[in-house]
């Protein structure tokens, strides 16, 4: 029976992708784990691996095709021993239908580090919870067919493939172990969830254009990244009660320490082994502040407060058409030089859209630095599942009063945006106070 290869969902927000390149051709034999193609999403370009074995019977979607919907048929494999020509002509009929994009607000996730620690004990429960809540289970066509033949509920099988996808060996393991039990329906009161608030629609294109003379404008279609950014930020502002706290931080001690640290950097191939930036020190200071104020290192869900064990700091990076937030994992444990080198690597790959999903998804907080652009202060929008984001303004010389005397100091204004459901005003002020102490007494970041 032909095996249908469909457009995978490579991120929780992905609804469509561009098939930029095929790395196989018709007639090629592929094994599980072989790279089939490159998919360009709204954030990055990623390689897609095969989860099945067989011969490429037909490439349904040509390379370079844009806007391919998730779950749309893109290729057909002929299983071992199957006639390739017959598979190419008859495989499309069984292609799964693309699901309509869901409009419910995205649920906060446990940070990847926390999920990894909980996975061994909680995997069966997670699989059952997914099935009982009606969430879609990603699985290969062969796995679904084997599960159906064995009388198994595919949603109750724990997947080991990419992004938790259920593959052939998972079904075989479930059968060998006695079979996965059908998932009992959850009580209606527990399963029912509050409907997501409707997103306000903007003015129609016609309503906007009637205010402008014909020929005085051009229409630029929204790309996938801009659509995703617009959707997530609109949901954030409509569903998250934002609260803002600002403070001024003196930078003179930090700038002096930075110069001293950079001057002592060992050379590699005639170049310094690292070059610390102010932004690197901001990342470290925020991570240490979250370590010191653990009640602020949280994410909100409808039933629980998710308390993170590490500070995974996302850093907003501007790229053509939008922005992306690569994440420095466990930043409170890393040295300034390690943060600096990691940030340079992530930033360079972000601009070329070569980040892996795990390098920009999740995180526990974020930093948005517009100080380098001369912006004095601003308030950033919380990016769920985060409960906080720190907006960094420009460092500038200002007159301050010390011991009754006016002196000049380098000062920057920072503004903490919080999800008020998880981090209230007093807790936000405590977190910002801890951050200010590390910025103004930066030797504490070297301990």
Distance CA 249, CA 245 (A): 13
3-state secondary structure of 327: strand
Residue 62 DSSP SS3: coil
Q: 408, 241 in Cβ contact below 8 A?
A: no
CA-closest candidate to residue 180, choices 229, 137, 227, 236: 137
Euclidean distance between CA atoms 142 and 127, whole angstroms: 19
Q: Is 264 exposed, middle or buried (0-12, 13-18, 19+ CB in 10 A)?
A: exposed
Find where tokens 């859209």 sit: 353
Strands of 3-6's sheet in order across: 3-6, 73-78, 54-59, 29-30
Tokens encoding 96: 């799964």
The whole-angstrom separation of Cα 295 and Cα 293 is 6
- The answer to whether 283 and 313 have CB atoms below 8 angstroms apart is yes
8 Å CB contact between 390 and 411: no
Q: Which residues contact 364 (CB under 8 A, 6 or more apart)?
A: 111, 290, 297, 298, 299, 308, 310, 311, 312, 313, 386
Residue with tokens 């599942």: 385
Residue among 436, 385, 423 at smallest CA distance from 244: 423
Which of 308, 310, 386, 420 does the annotation list as catalytic? 420
Q: Is 420 a catalytic residue?
A: yes
Helices 336-351 and 278-292 sit at what angle, rounded to 10 degrees? 110
On whether the CB atoms of residues 399 and 407 are closer than 8 A, the answer is yes
Buried-state track 33-72, b at ≥16 Cβ within 10 A, e below 16: eeebbbbbbbbbbbebbbbbbbbbbbbbbeeeeeebebbb
Q: Do the Cβ atoms of 328 and 276 come closer than 8 Å?
A: no
Q: Give catalytic residues, as residue numbers.
A: 420
């Amino acid at each position: 029976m032909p095996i249908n290869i469909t457009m995978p969902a490579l991120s929780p927000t992905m609804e469509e992708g561009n098939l930029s390149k095929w790395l196989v051709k018709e007639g090629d034999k592929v094994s599980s784990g072989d790279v089939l193609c490159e998919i360009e999403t709204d954030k990055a370009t990623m390689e897609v691996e095969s989860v099945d074995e067989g011969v490429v019977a037909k490439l349904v979607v040509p390379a370079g095709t844009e806007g391919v919907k998730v779950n749309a048929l893109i290729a057909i494999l002929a299983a071992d021993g199957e006639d390739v020509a017959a598979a190419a002509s008859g495989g499309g009929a069984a292609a799964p239908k693309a699901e309509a994009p869901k409009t419910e607000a995205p649920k906060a996730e446990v940070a990847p580090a926390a999920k990894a620690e909980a996975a061994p004990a909680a995997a069966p429960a997670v699989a059952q919870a997914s099935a009982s809540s009606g969430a879609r289970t990603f699985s290969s066509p062969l796995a679904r067919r084997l599960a159906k033949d064995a009388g198994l509920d595919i949603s109750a099988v724990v997947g080991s493939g990419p992004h938790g996808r259920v593959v052939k060996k998972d079904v075989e393991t479930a059968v060998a172990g006695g079979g996965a039990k059908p998932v009992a329906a959850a009580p209606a009161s527990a399963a029912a969830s509050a409907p997501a608030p409707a997103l306000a629609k903007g003015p129609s294109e016609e309503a906007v254009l009637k205010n402008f003379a014909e020929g005085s404008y051009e229409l630029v279609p929204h790309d996938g990244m801009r659509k995703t950014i617009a959707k997530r930020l609109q949901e954030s502002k409509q569903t998250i009660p934002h609260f803002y706290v600002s403070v001024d931080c003196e930078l003179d001690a930090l700038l002096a320490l930075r110069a001293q640290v950079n001057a002592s950097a060992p050379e590699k191939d005639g170049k310094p082994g690292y070059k610390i930036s102010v932004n690197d020190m901001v990342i470290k200071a925020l991570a240490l502040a979250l370590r010191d104020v653990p009640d602020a290192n949280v994410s909100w869900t409808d039933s629980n407060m998710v308390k993170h064990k590490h500070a995974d700091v996302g850093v907003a990076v501007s790229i053509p058409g939008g922005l992306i937030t690569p994440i420095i994992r466990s930043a409170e444990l890393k040295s300034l030089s390690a943060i600096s080198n990691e940030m340079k690597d992530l930033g360079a790959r972000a601009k070329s859209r070569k980040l892996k999903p795990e390098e920009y998804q999740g995180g526990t907080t974020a930093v948005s630095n517009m100080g380098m652009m001369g912006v004095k202060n601003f308030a950033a929008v919380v990016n769920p599942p985060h409960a906080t984001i720190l907006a960094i303004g420009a460092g500038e010389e200002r007159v301050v009063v010390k011991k009754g005397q006016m002196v000049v100091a380098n000062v920057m204004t920072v503004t903490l945006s919080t999800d008020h459901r998880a981090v209230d005003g007093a807790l936000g002020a405590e977190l910002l106070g801890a951050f200010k102490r590390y910025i103004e007494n930066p030797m504490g970041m070297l301990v």
